[in-house]
Amino acid sequence: MIDIHLLRENPELFRKAFKARGFGDSALEEFFTLDSQWRAKLKDLNSLRHEKNEITASISSLVKAGKNPGSSKEKVKSINDRISALEAEMAEIENSRSRILNTMPNLLHESVPVCKGDENNQFHNFWGTAKVYSGDLDEFNQATEGNGKYTLIEGKPISHVDLLASMDLADLDRASKVSGARFYYLKNRLVKLELALVNYAVDFLSERGFNVVEPPYMLNLASMSGATDMETFKDTLYKMEGEDLYLISTSEHPIASMYMGETLEPSSLPLRIAGVSPCFRREAGAHGKDTKGIFRVHQFTKIEQFIFCHPDESWDFLEELLHNSEDIFRNLEIPYRVVNVCSGELGNLAAKKYDIEAWFPAQGKFREVVSASNDTDYQARSLGIKFRGKSGNQFVHTLNSTAVATTRTIVAIMENYQSEDGKKIKIPDVLVPYTGFDTIS
RNA sequence: GCUGGGAUAGCCUAGCCUGGUAAGGCGCAGGUCUGGAAAGCCUGUGCUCUCGUAGCUCGGGAGUUCGAAUCUCCCUCCCAGCGCCA
């Protein structure tokens, strides 16, 4: 949620950010209309309450002195009627006002590129030596703005979908029988590879000062809507029937809501938390995209980085989160590029977001494997997470970044590490101590 | 699931029985004092607005009442005991 005070004092600031994100002005106009109505009624309400408080106080002293309060009780009753009516009117206005306020997106960091067309994410950097099929070279050079290192390969590697079947590493048909499309049974050494990725990422983040948590996999509505933008996300979430509970789509949400309604001691900041959990996503708006294999699925495991920090430090921490995630992919030796996501593609919460896109040689594309965002005080305000500042309590800033999402990273390994004959997959060196084997064949 | 006890500000606690409009301590910040500090003392320390001799706030909601932290009902969560259980 954005800062209502700042919005009242400085609407131009928001008008500019909304425009860059492709939002119209109508919400702003409607907000100010409702807000001024609300404030006018608040004035009336407060004076009525004041009147009531004075009369009740006088009744109190009369009763204590053993005297009869006379008609005062009736006066209060009629004031109460007027108060109830006003309160009902205000509740209605406030409802509409907060519905608008909740859809308003965060301000943008000055470095966020403004989207112009479909594809305006800004190239930031490239790492690695990509295996590029000659037919994909143009796309590769364009995506890296000529900064990408590569070796040309003869033919395209085999897609992970075919390898899963030929190497008996997953059973997608039976998964669709029992659960539907976009589910999978991982099998054999791929299960151990997944566990290795989880354990590796947990150890990596522990060494970098993160406390590890395994959060609840379900959240109630209050926590979920505080941690995310329910208007946009309700189509991605699974709801438990007959319960006020939603399956999490990322451990970001239970970690963010962990401190909901709390005021933290400044000495406890920053809080670095790494979450490990399955993520459940309906993928309702993704019909036809990545329908085969395990690239886009309803359920996957993710290790997430999360930071609660002082507002002055959040931009430095965004770089820290990005560097942690980059180091993981460097250690896995998977070539990638980083992009600065443009204004129109940012979620409402984020003031800036970097994506890490791994190179998938079989697809001939860079595809998202990590998202690192600074939500500034937007998420903290919705959740009521503050710290005790020198001049009163202030909202903390929150940041989140993927460390490893297992299924996509497994696909990246399968595409980047397969042998030329397509019969073997090498395990990245850094994972071998965790898998106990160095090849899948 | 059953029975009982709880939830008060960043933390700890009083008030509840017997309704009269949140007391105190700790911590933190500022001031005073000091060469500097500690101690002591003073002030501040939930939220809102149009900043006042204003309004709201005692886990959430509803009710009774002129008036509810306090009484009644419903809900959530925590603790203890019992039951069930991987």
The amino acid at A421: D
Q: Which residues in chain A land under pLDDT 70?
A: 117-119, 391
Residues in Cβ contact with A336 at an 8 Å cutoff, skipping those fewer than 6 apart: A126, A127, A128, A326, A329, A356, A357, A358, A359, A366, A369
How many Cα atoms sit within 13 Å of A265 on the Cβ side?
2
DSSP character at residue A210: P
CA atoms within 13 A on the CB side of A240: 11
Q: A66: Cβ under 7 Å from strand B?
A: no
Tokens of A419: 């042998």
Supply the pLDDT for residue A406.
Answer: 95
Asked if the A122-440 domain carries CATH number 3.40.1440.60, the reply is no
Å from the A296 CA to the B25 C1': 57
> What is the distance between the alpha carbons of residues A126 and A406, in angstroms, rounded to a whole number?
22
- Rounded Cα distance between A216 and A427, Å, is 31
The answer to whether A145 and A123 have CB atoms below 8 angstroms apart is: yes
CATH node for A24-103: 1.10.287.40
Residues with Cβ within 8 Å of residue A329, at least 6 apart in sequence:
A127, A336, A356, A358, A369, A370
Report chain B positions within 7 A of protein CB atoms.
9-11, 20-21, 27-29, 45-50, 54-56, 65-67
Task: Estimate the share of chain A in helix, then strand, then coil, as percent rounded to the nearest 5.
Answer: 45, 20, 35
pLDDT at A117: 61
In chain A, domain spans: 24-103, 122-440
Whole-number Å distance, CA A393 to C1' B30?
16
Contact flag, residue A102 CB and nucleic strand B, below 7 A: no
Cβ density class A53-87: b for 16+ within 10 Å, e for less: eebeeebeeeeeeeeebeeeeeebeebeeebeebe
pLDDT at A391: 66
**pTM score of the predicted model:** 0.91
- The DSSP annotation for A117-168 comes to SS--PEEEEEES-EEEEGGGHHHHHHHTTT---EEEESSPPPPHHHHHHHTT
Is ipTM beyond 0.90? no
What was the pLDDT predicted at A336?
Answer: 96
CA dist A6 and A205 (Å) reads 36
Look at strands A263-264 and A246-247 and give their pairing: unpaired
C-alpha A146/C-alpha A22 separation (Å) is 30
Instruction: Give residue numbers, 368 to 407 of A, with CB < 7 Å from strand B.
Output: 388, 390, 392-393
A77 touches strand B (CB under 7 A): yes
